[in-house]
Chain A
């Protein structure tokens, strides 16, 4: 399963969860609508989810306009605009030009408008800078030009300092740089800093502005021309896209240009303008009627009515002290609740009280920034608004209590200042007191009982008591930040003292592209040549970067296992704050474990498929011939052709403490492999790790040399090595080094795998963990694939989305 599927799976799971909880994928049951009351599941509720901010969708003039146009031209006029448009188009575009004061091209939808405009206005040698929160439809259109090699970057939301930095850099190579943003952002309802963007456009001739003002349309500006154009007249280096499917409200969209030539160019060349169906007569007729209202003074009265409702809403949210994430004058509101389970709970309660609101959830916002998103329209009464907010204020603390969450944590998740009185609250203590469980937290393995740790986690890989001691010795007291790890050991016991959960966590600086495709990592590494820690984040991880396997002991037979997991989440959240870690990665879970999956997703984690791991079991054969005989026909052929044929050409040695120059040479072989392996992109291990391995009796150094007749160098040197940790019954090869000069002819890598299996047998062990990647190769040795999933939580999605914008094709060009 690819990472992409994992993303889709997470989105699918969230949608299914929300549907199951009765808050998404719903249908109205009303025969007709006359106001903002709708019926869902036989219950009348006030609709607080409509983006028709002016409530014009039920205006009789719009209905009459649609009916008239349908009577005139039928339900559709099916022709490409490149050939022929219905006359209503000309009438609408004429009125819209008056409305916007600039040339306009009407599109069937805003998304199709972006797809028409962006590939036409952006040239191959232009660059694009996306705002982190720019609408997904803009990003879809940008993907089309990425394939032409257009450079695409992303900046943090509304960060004008970052924008200016990137413009300064990009103008060295690009004549035009497009900054793409929303006028009003659909989730938090905040605005693009239009005035500051204009200042930058004045300062840098190369800078252009593409703004999607879908949510700003109608409710603000002269003739309702939208938020962006209410701030400044259209700039000669600006293109604006807007929607008729929000406050306008007829369906369709429009592109507004600074001059006729550019408008004509998009009309002539924009893909959907040529090949997609047009806006249909019904919508066109309604749009003409809506444009008439927009061109009259009536629009200002409507805008004023809506502003009064917005003002009242802001006032009440403040009085009730609800976490309004981005207070503004826009009709979109977002009340932060942090975790999905909190959002589901609160929305369900509001629904029961007769108010329908939306959940703002991943991927629209980061997992931990879930919230209740609601909209205010002109049609809401003060009674309805107060009723809804009163209900929210009543249920909000009840949800906190029910889900064992604190308001302080919500403020932390949204990086908002904490309400003073809540700073002292410690959620972990509260939860421990409540459940009766005992949590033991230690910063070093030396404080834990060796026998108990090994009984719980000792047989799972390289992290038995000795293995942890080795890691602590190797990753503390180093020079570089990525070489110093924080270690945290957690054991949770029930009332009888029996362990329910045990694990260890490490916190270190990690590369955000660690699990990204190698082509992406290659691009990021290029950037890191100038800025070593570009796209690196302090990451709190279950297990460590140098251990593999299931790092979580969990007694699933205990009725308290879910409580223990919740307690672990609390502890992790506290450690995350203490270390300032921006990413949490809980890894090596069974991807088919539905109970665990639901628990993790509910607590704000999203699933990522990990690279496949490999395990060779059943070392119950007595000779290498017997081992080979057990393999499949193809594998046998492969082993004979690629491995046993070369077997006699090698000398294999298990060495104890090598001389410094030998160890140094092995480190060079490790670096060869590291430089060639970006599938799991991590920082290079410090030399100190090699020194410690050499000193540690639990580690073995399996060194492969070619016999003198095959290695004709003056001084024969190793051509490959494997460092393996010898566990209770498992052989764990963790590091490999190769001399690629000999690899092709003598299949050194394959020889290493083969020798590892033979060595494990020699030591009388039962299993060999072959680690990540090289699946095809490892399967030939009878390795079983272990699929596993990681669950991540990022304080924001920025890094993930920057990686998403990286042009995979660039590498190939």
Chain B
């Protein structure tokens, strides 16, 4: 199987190089037969890369520890469930996963465009996809081969990092990769449009589903990463503004900006240059994230260290950047249209301002992430900026963005009238102001949190009004009841209402973030059996202590009875684990989650006589982050359900 794996990677590399060569020759000779060969080569590369993937999975499941990668990330005691996740636990496997997914995506595109091979644009799309695939397969067959063998056969592997032995890790890396890789497709279409001069909105319409699906995957990946950090790392938070986290968030922000202005180009055929810039930037930032993780230039909680791949990614980044820049500058005349906007008070204008804020957050996050490099360059000191810095700089920008989330959809296309503004904004503004005053009266303090809750309320009311207004209009038009009119409205206008669901999700996430960061309570305590501790409205009573061996680990667990406002509210059982092969202790968080707050307990210390140290956090409203995330993803999915083509009677 090792030979099959090695050969597959190498042959896939050769086949994808051949695909590029066929395309170039086909374009030069203007001969469609070469393009057809390239299309078949792309399918071939997908099949062969799939074989390499199967080979690596097989090696993990059969425990072939002579393969260095298998020995580094698994052991005999590792549950089968996690043997699959070991595939992408390290750099070599994740590169193979990336190449495999890209080859499948390229194959899907090649299949869907099989009747369009006579178009030059199709050739360029193939060239970009196959060219990107060449990079990954080249790295896999030369400097980062997951099938490399050790000179000896170890008795057992080193095991998977205990931190990665969490269900969240099954989906977090692949979904993130799917998001990153997915943006290669719209990027390829954009480059093809630039080269061929077909610069209308056709490329946007063709790639709309790819763009939204990639955005959804990136969103899921980021959320699962946060969820994993929350339940696994045990520090009570979900987002630490770590360079690798930022590396996924930055392209998400730019992709979100792109999703908005793509709508404008589709409807008004303006902002063509801007959309080209945004999709190129999104693709570059996806590769930049990969570069950051693998170059070792920045210190991160979960990078791969200096892997020797940084130079290759940097070279690729520079080439793509310069080539894209050249194409955009070259096509500028054709790209720039006779822009007209009727008014500042139009959706087109507010979308542009929304773009500015999204890009400002992307810039501040990028700047903060690479600030250690910048400061080292100018001052000789590597100044790292952390969570408090990012919170301080980005919070005002996020608040502005939140406000725009409420304003943009309420302003009509082309030109909004004063009466339209009054009608749409008066009630939400008054309700938001009254709500904020009520929260203040209830004892909530803090400028940012109160502003955040106020703006959130404003957006919630505007979204509610949209649903209510639409349902009423449909009821009037069709005579349907509200129960039928609402779902029909959502389904019939799913693209628009999908967007509203995404906005609703964003608002709920912001409410969760605000509550859990501004009003969080933390306490540590050391307890003996029978003792209690108090935090907020909670009292935790330490009942008993247990220890046992479970597969690849020793487990120490404390059982605590939870009382809220003096009433019994269940039990909580934090664990301390010791992974035998990895020789690494970890803490397993125990969470009691309600819609109001999370009681979050970790046990950083245990002694043999059963004395425990507890770290307890009460995170208000935190669960709304996960609920909002789910709504966001469902809204995205709703927006991509295709509309049936109308047939002539």
Q: Do A and B actually bind?
A: no
Binding site for B on A (CB under 8 A): none
